[in-house]
Amino acid sequence: MELYDEDDTIYMQQEDDWDRDLLLDPAWEKQQRKTFTAWCNSHLRKAGTQIENIEEDFRDGLKLMLLLEVISGERLAKPERGKMRVHKISNVNKALDFIASKGVKLVSIGAEEIVDGNAKMTLGMIWTIILRFAIQDISVEETSAKEGLLLWCQRKTAPYKNVNIQNFHISWKDGLGFCALIHRHRPELIDYGKLRKDDPMTNLNTAFDVAEKYLDIPKMLDAEDIISTLRPDEKAVMTYVSCYYHAFSGKQKAETAANRICKVLAVNQENEQLMEDYEKLASDLLEWIRRTIPWLENRAPENTMQAMQQKLEDFRDYRRQHKPPKVQEKCQLEINFNTLQTKLRLSNRPAFMPSEGKMVSDISNAWGSLEGAEKGYEEWLLNEIRRLERLDHLAEKFRQKAAIHEAWTEGKEEMLQHKDYESASLSEIKALLKKHEAFESDLAAHQDRVEQIAAIAQELNELDYYDSPSVNARCQRICDQWDALGALTQKRSEALQRTEKLLETIDQLYLEFAKRAAPFNNWMEGAMEDLQDSFIVHTIEEIQGLSTAHEQFKATLPEADKERQAILGIQNEITKIVQTYHVNIAGTNPYTTINPQEINAKWDKVRQLVPQRDQALMEEHARQQNNERLRKQFAGQANVIGPWIQTKMEEIGRISIEMHGTLEDQLTHLRQYEKSIVNYKPKIDQLEGDHQLIQEALIFDNKHTNYTMEHIRVGWEQLLTTIARTINEIENQILTRDAKGISQEQMNEFRASFNHFDRKRTGLMDAEDFRACLISMGYNLGEAEFSRIMSIVDPNRMGVITFQAFIDFMSRETADTDTADQVMASFKVLAGDKNYILADELRRELPPDQAEYCIARMAPYTGPDAVPGALDYMSFSTALYGESDL
């Protein structure tokens, strides 16, 4: 039977539809009959009536209409009171129409069936009413009807162990689900900890009894029916559980209402507490301001800096410790006031009016007065401190300046009275004068300090400084000492000037002696250094230059002796002045450390070194003459041997390149050259002997020749190597010619081609010349092919090709062509008329090792006539050609 249309509001899934087939089970029909009857009576009791038999008592439609009015709270159409069948059908139709008006489309349920007492149709109709008015409106977390009710049960029983609500039949058989719902909402009604899962009878009866007694939920189920049935009736269980939902949801609404009242009361209490807190906080803050302002307005001055600083420290404590908390209190007071007014306004309560004098504006005015007094107090403190600081500063300044002046004058009187100038030299006198002038400047500079000391003392007297007597006494001592220093300074200045004039004449003579003695002494030291200096020369020209310079030096000696005598005359004049005027000269000449005795000793040393230098120059001149002879002797031989070696090298090169006669003729000619070269060896040995004499004489250069012994040795070794290598090349060419069967005409052609492309005439072809030669001979060269050929002719990758490599390559190319023809012939013999050759044929015709060698290197034949074991001809030719080379 279909209970609703797809377009209507869906409040139950299709599987929850009442299925008349389920009622075929007598146990289920019994459960539904009892449950639905109890459910109907729970509502009909409100109208003062009830039913006994569900299919009989609803037949006239009167109690059915009454039930709908009770559960819907609405009035239905006036029922028919007649006893006839038509009256009953009319009443039932009115009930069914009302159900349909609530969005439920009834199918297959007619008024006649209800009037006739059809139990199945009556139960189906009651279930439809239960769904619509007891279950449809249940909503939990966006789910409704059956799913909402199931989710509500799961949420409420989730904390309980052994309870797992998944459906409305077997999940409730043990009774713990019903007990958990009751305990969750009314824990005082059931001692859940004592319940056991293995005692479902006790659990079910406990829940049913408690629900009926305390929750006004009638017993709609029997514990025996639930336990004895394999699968309790889902509709009966769902109907009973929905009563739990409505019972507890009603209680929750009551609790919500109570909570709302409590919340309103709590807000009122909180507001009243805020009012009390404001009044108290405002009173405390105003009292603190009243006590603090007189303290800040107190302007009684202090006589000492320490006392004023203590006041300043107290004020700082006030600013750091006492005032900040009050600032916070004032801020909190304003915040509380604003918060209170906002809460009152939101609660539709009248605005809060503080007591007289405690308005926020009153507190702000009082606070402004506090800050005004605070600012004035701070300014007064700073002014007083500045005044006392000025006095202390002046006193400290007087003491500092007086101490500095007294420290400066200490020892000055003794210094001015000292007669150190009587035994001083002129330079010391001048130094003392400079020092005294500096002292006079310093004395004049200190005049300002003395005047400042007096001015500070006068200002302290005017300001009535408490220690003025001691300041005045100290100032007087400083002024008296200052006058004494001025007199002593003048007296010492006059004594220093007299002594200076007495010593100036002697000082001028000292200076002249120093000016003339210094260069003369330097000249003598340089002369001694030159005369004793060891010399190293390599040519006769160098020794001749040294001899000429020495003669020029000897010519200057008479003039130098005159200068020496003049310098000694100055010293004699100084000695005469000292003896005549009894001048007290302290120390030696201040301008120089040179004395007459030193000048005479160095002059004698110079005269001794001159003849020694003469002898050394003569000996070196003789040695250089012998060296020059050795140079010319070596150069004469080297200038002959060097060109001879070069000529022979060129002749050998021409012989190896030119094509005169046969290779045997060239070989004979070269061996004659080799013999003549070997016969030249004694001259090389003689040159080695001359070179040894030159080395022993430490001769390192020779302007008479460009040849060194090393050049001669290298050239000689190259000559011997070249002739031997050339002979070997000719011999190899003869071997190649004979081995390859090359005629003399072919050899001449090879030589002509090689010489033609040897553009540098070095007997070697570079890679590009060799490429051009091959192209001229008809080779079609790609890069890969040319690289292959270069790997043959230049295996060491030197970049050049010798004539021997060239003819080896040419002879090999000829031999390769012959061998390929032989391979083709061998293939035809072994293969017969086939296009391939078999591995067994090779094993039969060739030695075992060679046959396996060829098979390992052959590729399989892949032609259309291929058979197992067939080998390709080209790979066979390659393998055989390789074997012939081996």
In the predicted structure, residue 390 carries a pLDDT above the cut 90: no
Phi and psi for 870 in degrees, rounded to 5? Answer: -75, 140
pLDDT at 868: 81
pLDDT at 631: 81
pLDDT at 175: 92
Please state, in angstroms and rounded to a whole number, the distance separating the CA atoms of residues 209 and 558: 158
pLDDT more than 90, % of the chain:
7
Confidence of residue 10 (pLDDT cuts 50, 70, 90): very low
Q: How far is CA 467 from each of CA 218, 400, 479, 764, 829, rounded to the nearest angstrom?
A: 111, 15, 19, 119, 148
Contacts of 676 (CB under 8 A, 6+ apart): none
pLDDT at 812: 66
In the predicted structure, residue 471 carries a pLDDT above the cut 80: yes
pLDDT at 153: 92
In the predicted structure, residue 757 carries a pLDDT above the cut 50: yes
Tell me which residue has tokens 């000048």.
Answer: 599
More confident residue, 235 or 26: 235
- CA atoms within a 13 Å half-sphere pointing along the CA-CB vector of 694: 21
Structure tokens at 143: 């789910």
pLDDT at 252: 63
Confidence of residue 824 (pLDDT cuts 50, 70, 90): low
Please state, in angstroms and rounded to a whole number, the distance separating the CA atoms of residues 746 and 885: 24
pLDDT at 500: 77
In the predicted structure, residue 743 carries a pLDDT above the cut 60: yes
In the predicted structure, residue 168 carries a pLDDT above the cut 80: yes
pLDDT at 5: 34
In the predicted structure, residue 826 carries a pLDDT above the cut 70: no
In the predicted structure, residue 179 carries a pLDDT above the cut 90: yes
Q: Give the pLDDT confidence of 691-737 residue by residue, as tens digits.
A: 888 888 777 788 888 888 888 889 888 888 888 888 887 887 788 77
Mean pLDDT of the chain: 80
| Mean pLDDT computed over 328-350 | 82
pLDDT at 261: 67
> According to the per-residue pLDDT averaged within each range, which of 143-147, 148-152, 828-832, 875-879 is highest?
148-152
Written as one string, the DSSP assignment of 114-154 is HHTT-HHHHHHHHHHHHIIIIITT-EETTEEHHHHHHHHHH
Residue 217 backbone zone (phi > 0: left; psi -120 to 50: alpha; other: beta): beta
Q: Indicate the residue type of 452.
A: Q
Q: Give the pLDDT confidence of 676-691 residue by residue, as tens digits.
A: 888 888 988 888 888 8
pLDDT at 170: 92
In the predicted structure, residue 312 carries a pLDDT above the cut 90: no
pLDDT at 656: 65
pLDDT at 72: 86
What pairs with residue 143 in β-bridges?
A: 140
